[in-house]
Amino acid sequence: MSKTIRAKFYCTSVKDDGHSEIVNLSAVYGNDDKDNKENNQFSEVTPCGEIEMFISNPGAKGFIKKGNYYYLDFTEAPTA
């Protein structure tokens, strides 16, 4: 049985280079703000991290928007 872990990221930028979108995401961080309780919880287990993706699939372009939060679920994939 495979295990999945979840991280929460914030989109810091989306750029279109004419061929694909370049999307940058950063792990959320807490600042002990009571209104941001979920971000505080995520930052305890994922204190920092960045992801950069190049999206060329027309059906996926435009889905990720700057300023929005996203959950990323990680499940181990087979090697072959």
**Mean pLDDT per segment of 10 residues, for the chain of length 80 residues?**
84 95 90 65 73 96 96 89
- Among 79, 69, 75, residue whose Cα is nearest residue 27: 69
Q: What is the pLDDT of residue 75?
A: 92
User: How far from 48 is each of 2, 19, 78, CA to CA, in Å?
Assistant: 24, 29, 26
Please, which residues bridge with residue 10 across strands? 26, 69
Closest CA to 72 of 34, 25, 20, 23: 25
Element (DSSP H or E) covering residue 4: strand 4-16
DSSP summary character for residue 17: -
